[in-house]
Structure 1
Amino acid sequence: MTNAPRPRPVTEADEQAVRRLHAEGLGRNEIARRLDRGTRTISVIAARLNIEFECTRTEKATQHRTAQLAEKRAILADALMDDALRLTAQMWEPAVVFNIGGKDNTYTEEHVPEPPAADKRALMSAAATAAAQSLRLVPPRDDQGVSEAVSLLGNLAAGLTTVHQALTGQANDEGDGDAQ
């Protein structure tokens, strides 16, 4: 059995001090320091007294930190996508194929116009991993460009219908139900 100190009971003087310090504009942490109490104890006393602490600074700091982390994720996602592009490009660039072996453990190399198939598979796998991680960090928005694409496709279809009608000599009869 341990001889841990027992918590000090909350007194009426503690409650009055919390009320007074809060009225002076002090926050929970400062009140806890001044009264030599835990922040949880101060929160319990404040709740009992229907006192709320100002949390605007904490909310702003949290929003700021969240924005910083989002920016870092975007930077990392961008770097990973660049890595994927560089790895993919390497599949079609000249390469050096080498071998170390034989009884004398000799090194031989050969310059080839592009990497062998096995190396291309490894490059493609690494590129796919980098791209997947990039997309996991900053997923594409589902609605990104969808309405513009639908509008573009609609305009393209109407244009193609007009060209087809001009080439075949058909009149543009909107009521005939052919064009949709």
Structure 2
Amino acid sequence: MTTRTPPRPVTQDDYDQVRELHAQDLSRNEIGRRIRRSGKTVSEIAAELGLTFDRSGTRAATEARKDDARAKRARLSVALLDDAERLRQQLWKEAKAFNFGGKDNTYNEVTLDEPTFADKLKIMQATGIAVDKAVRLDEYDADPGIDAAKSMLGALAAGLGAAYDQLNRTEPDASS
């Protein structure tokens, strides 16, 4: 069983330093590093002093990181599609089949007009995986409202079609 050391009591010096460093527009975490206190303790001291930390810089930095990640996913998606295209082209190119074997571990090779069926299957599987991953990356960054809008428009079109059919239905002649 490990024994925890009791927390160091917060002193007036801590309050003074938080006030002074906050006035220098330092972040909560930077103040904590400088006075050797946790961010939680700094936040509690600041709250008692009526001080707040501007989070707009944090929000902007977070948005910038999200934008960078979206751009990386977009580049990766394009690269995966390029890979899929190069893989697919191999289906129709010459292929070299080779083998090491025998008691003397000899090397044999033969050039085929195109890959074997088993190799074509593996190429198509790899191509499909690359395309699937590219599509998944694109879906990750897609606007979630688009699917809802498509669904709503589909339902609206179906409803309009049903109303049109109902309006244009011929009524049986009352004289018959």
What range describes the TM-score normalised by the shorter chain of this pair? 0.5 to 0.7
Q: Using the alignment, how far apart are the partners of 1:30 and 1:11 within structure 2?
A: 19
- Opposite residue 128 of structure 2, the aligned amino acid is A
State the TM-score, normalized to the length of structure 1.
Answer: 0.67
1:5 — aligned with what? 5
SS in 2 for 1:69: helix
Q: 1:51 corresponds to which residue?
A: 51
Partner Cα separation in structure 2 for residue 31 and residue 61 of structure 1: 19
SS of residue in 1 equivalent to 2:97: strand
Offset of 1:92 from its aligned partner? 0.9
Q: Which amino acid aligns with 1:40?
A: K
What percentage of residue pairs aligned between the two structures are identical? 46
- 1:4 offset after TM fit, Å? 4.0
1:112: which partner in 2? Answer: 112
Q: Hey, what's the Cα distance between the residues in 2 that align with 1:36 and 1:109?
A: 68
In structure 1, the partner of 2:63 is 63
Greater displacement, 46-55 / 114-123: 46-55
What's the TM-score once normalised by structure 2's chain length? 0.68
93-102 or 8-17: bigger deviation: 8-17
Compared CA separation, residues 99 and 12, structure 1 to 2 (3 A): closer
Q: Which residue of 1 aligns with 2:101?
A: 101
Whole-angstrom distance in 1 between the partners of 2:119 and 2:72 = 32
Q: How does 1:1-180 map to 2 (within 5 A)?
A: 2=2, 4-139=4-139, 141=142, 143=146
Can you give the 5+ residue segments of structure 1 that lack an aligned partner in the other structure? 148-176
Deviation (angstroms), 1:101 = 3.0
CA distance in 2, matches of 1:30, 1:105: 65
Amino acid at match of 2:110: E
Unaligned runs of 5+ in 2: 151-167, 169-176
